[in-house]
Amino acid sequence: FKVVKQETKAIDGQKPGTSGLRKKVTVFKQDHYLANFVQATFDALPSDKVKGSNIVVSGDGRYWSTEAIQIIIKIAAANGVKRVWVGQNTLLSTPAVSAIIRERVNSHGEKAYGAFILTASHNPGGPDEDFGIKYNCENGGPAPESLTNKIYENTKKITAYHTADGIPNVDVTKIGVTSFEGPDGTFDVEVFDSTEDYVKLMKTIFDFTAIKDLITNPKFSFCYDALHGVAGVYAKKIFLEELGAKESSLLNCEPKEDFGGGHPDPNLTYAKELVQVMGLGKTQPDEIPEFGAAADGDADRNMILGKKFFVTPSDSVAIIAANAVGAIPYFSGGLKGVARSMPTSAALDVVAKKLNLEFFEVPTGWKFFGNLMDAGMCSVCGEESFGTGSDHIREKDGIWAVLAWLSILAHRNKQAGGDKLVTVEEIVTEHWNTYGRHYYTRYDYENVDSDDAKKLMAHLVDLQSKLGDVNNLIKEIRPDVAEVQEADEFEYKDPVDQSISSHQGIRYLFKDGSRLVFRLSGTGSVGATIRLYIEQYEADPAKIFEPSAEALAPLVEVALKLSKMEEFTGRSEPTVIT
Ligand code: VG1
Ligand code: CO
């Protein structure tokens, strides 16, 4: 092949958000749109590292992935990359990509330098829906802000990109290596099985025999819903082939480029089928499985359910941290520390305190956990947005979270040794009894006018200097709600590289430990999404069994009135409640 220089013009709006660049497919399909971003990324990396490197390109298989991979292969070749690794049929989950960067070696014993992950995660897919791309680094984690800022700067001044003339579209459905001769020698595209590296890694972390005993116990039953995302490929391999689950345990495990027309977001609103199966829907099924779980499009998120029981993601990470050491072989030496994102509830804080573990609170987005993990300061971490993970990789990991829960269930059952199986609900309520309960909910207002959203946020910042007024208002509308003690915008100083990230969410901290947090989403593709996070701590064991919505009603009322939500946005109801 020959390297050709293709003239182009800078395109507006290519700033990566919380997790990469996400736009409508129609935007991505514009001439040079993807190519500009990819070249801008290569230009932001040290050229001596890119030259001769191995990179990974794959994703959740959403609509337009095949076309995008072919474009990226050619640009990679023209920029001096030596080998591109592709998961069969373009499929690699986000956690699998992270594992591959860290673990896989080529025939020369070399690892990958980085990866382009093609996904818009939990956003819908299809010709009129979203596409996305993000770059992950040598440690397997998302590019830090310093790099994404550089990429963005490059997109604003790009005038040309390099691409290869003479590389035909590569067949990504067949496993094998295709080689091309270029100016700097051979360029290879290697297509391999999407699951091999990831499954190998999972086997080093968990006791598969113990989990298999649980799964094949006739008293146990479970249901996994991949929402037609890439998780299905891994679920079949791990749950069916390795752990002996019945095929009927898997729901929507055929990856589809439009996710079957659904929203591949594992929560109580969008994982409708699973919610119904688990007895949390409108009608009750005859038989309800003991354990249920779902994943998002790129399989880094998880939702955990018990029989007629929802585990909040904030509780889930706290419970995993509290139980990890006995239940999961990978943690047998103890935990190095734990971390959560700022809006995530403080359930994890209480566990850290009791177990005397180092604890960190970082801004939203997985990239902030990476530095802590690379420095050996954090073993388990999580976000309220259905993301849980550990330092086995540098992304959140949906299947890992399910295996962690199965391990805890298996371990508890072995300890109990009784006739009756220990349930998810028992584990959670026991946890609340020990640590207290953090009632928690999140209200999302999607696709709000951007200016309206900005005005609402500005209003909330303004109020932070008038806490006297705020507390008078609270006294008027809800005297049963505690006073606000402190209010600020969250700022994070990375303890490893000392970098500072400001404006990471508006916080109102109440005297009784309750919190209200307001943030604008960084993963949407149109308009603005306002996220309102509501949390209230209850230590009294007599008061930990209220329905969450009832317990939080007073705080919700305060949040909506304080922010003038309806006045600013015209919305009387959130789009989604999780
Ligand atoms: C959301 C979540 C955040 C998560 C991010 C990426 O970001 O709130 O916790 O890390 O999505 O998840 P935002 O900026 O929209 O609130 V995923 O599964 O899209 O990679
Ligand atoms: Co995701």
Domain match, 64 and 207 both: no
Q: Whose CA is nearest to atom 18 of ligand 1?
A: 121
Nearest-atom number in ligand 1 for the CA of 298 is: 18
What's residue 19's pLDDT?
82
Indicate which residue of 121, 249, 385, 407 is catalytic.
Answer: 121
Cα(421)–Cα(262) distance, integer angstroms: 34
Nearest-atom number in ligand 1 for the CA of 529 is: 15
Domain match, 176 and 235 both: no
Q: Whose CA is nearest to atom 1 of ligand 1?
A: 523
For the CA atoms of the chain, what is the radius of gyration?
24
Can you tell me the mean pLDDT for 480-505? 92
Residue 307 predicted with pLDDT over 90:
yes
Domain with residue 538: its CATH number is 3.30.310.50
Domain match, 315 and 337 both: yes
Q: Whose CA is nearest to atom 13 of ligand 1?
A: 521
Residue 279 predicted with pLDDT over 80:
yes
Each residue's pLDDT tens digit, 207-241: 999 999 999 999 999 999 999 999 999 999 999 99
At 132, which helix (H) or strand (E)?
A: strand 130-136
Q: Whose CA is nearest to atom 3 of ligand 1?
A: 365
For the beta sheet containing 83-87, the strands, ordered from the edge strand earlier in sequence to the opposite edge, are 21-24, 130-136, 114-118, 54-59, 83-87, 185-192, 176-182
Domain match, 428 and 451 both: no
Can you tell me the mean pLDDT for 381-403? 97
Of all ligands present, the nearest one to the C-alpha of 531 is: 1
Residue 522 predicted with pLDDT over 90:
no
Q: Which band of pLDDT confidence, cut at 50, 70 and 90, is reported for residue 270?
A: very high
Residue 539 predicted with pLDDT over 90:
no
> Which of the residue ranges 251-260, 292-301, 463-472 would you say has the lowest mean pLDDT?
463-472
Domain match, 564 and 470 both: yes
Residue 51 predicted with pLDDT over 90:
yes
Cα(576)–Cα(578) distance, integer angstroms: 6
Of 274 and 525, which is predicted with more confidence?
274
Out of 373, 402, 435, a domain closes at 435
Domain match, 174 and 314 both: no
What's residue 490's pLDDT?
96
All residues at 6 or more sequence positions from 557 whose CB lies less than 8 Å from its CB, including other chains: 477, 478
Q: How many domains does the chain have?
A: 3
Q: Which band of pLDDT confidence, cut at 50, 70 and 90, is reported for residue 415?
A: confident
Cα(195)–Cα(199) distance, integer angstroms: 6
Q: How far is the CA of 4 from the centre of ligand 1 (A)?
A: 37
Can you tell me the mean pLDDT for 330-340? 96
Domain match, 290 and 378 both: yes
Query: ipTM of the predicted structure?
Result: 0.97
Determine the structural domain holding residue 424 and report its residue range: 198-435
Cα(110)–Cα(63) distance, integer angstroms: 31
Can you tell me the mean pLDDT for 245-271? 95
Q: Which band of pLDDT confidence, cut at 50, 70 and 90, is reported for residue 445?
A: very high
Q: How far is the CA of 521 from the centre of ligand 1 (A)?
A: 8
What's residue 350's pLDDT?
96
CA 270 from chain center: how many Å?
16
Can you tell me the mean pLDDT for 414-422? 85
Domain with residue 331: its CATH number is 3.40.120.10
Q: How far is the CA of 5 from the centre of ligand 1 (A)?
A: 36
Domain match, 78 and 103 both: yes
Residue 493: strand pairing partners = 500
Can you tell me the mean pLDDT for 126-133? 96
Candidates 385, 442, 501, 533: which one to mutate for ligand 1, based on the most atoms within 8 Å of Cβ?
385
Q: Whose CA is nearest to atom 19 of ligand 1?
A: 121
DSSP line for 30-96: STTHHHHHHHHHHHHS-HHHHTT-EEEEEES--TTHHHHHHHHHHHHHHTT--EEEEEGGGB--HHH
What's residue 224's pLDDT?
98
Active-site residue flag, 379: no
Q: How far is the CA of 15 from the centre of ligand 1 (A)?
A: 15
Domain match, 119 and 256 both: no
For the beta sheet containing 302-306, the strands, ordered from the edge strand earlier in sequence to the opposite edge, are 250-251, 222-225, 291-295, 302-306, 309-311
Place of tokens 């290569």: 42
**Sign of the CA dihedral running 167, 182, 48, 159:** negative
Each residue's pLDDT tens digit, 88-106: 999 999 999 999 999 999 8
Structure tokens that stand for 387 in this block: 């993301």
Q: Which of 319, 299, 321 is nearest to 311 (CA)?
A: 319
Contact between 410 and 327 (Cβ < 8 Å): yes
Each residue's pLDDT tens digit, 152-197: 999 999 999 999 999 999 999 999 999 999 998 999 999 999 999 9
Of all ligands present, the nearest one to the C-alpha of 17 is: 1
Residue 266 predicted with pLDDT over 90:
yes
Place of tokens 């119904």: 276
What's residue 17's pLDDT?
85
Cα(18)–Cα(385) distance, integer angstroms: 12
Cα(345)–Cα(277) distance, integer angstroms: 27
Residue 292 predicted with pLDDT over 80:
yes
Out of 419, 435, 451, a domain closes at 435
Nearest-atom number in ligand 1 for the CA of 18 is: 14
Out of 147, 163, 194, a domain closes at 194
Can you tell me the mean pLDDT for 301-315? 97
Domain match, 277 and 178 both: no
Domain match, 43 and 184 both: yes
Q: How far is the CA of 301 from the centre of ligand 1 (A)?
A: 9
- Average of per-residue pLDDT values in the chain: 95
Domain match, 512 and 402 both: no
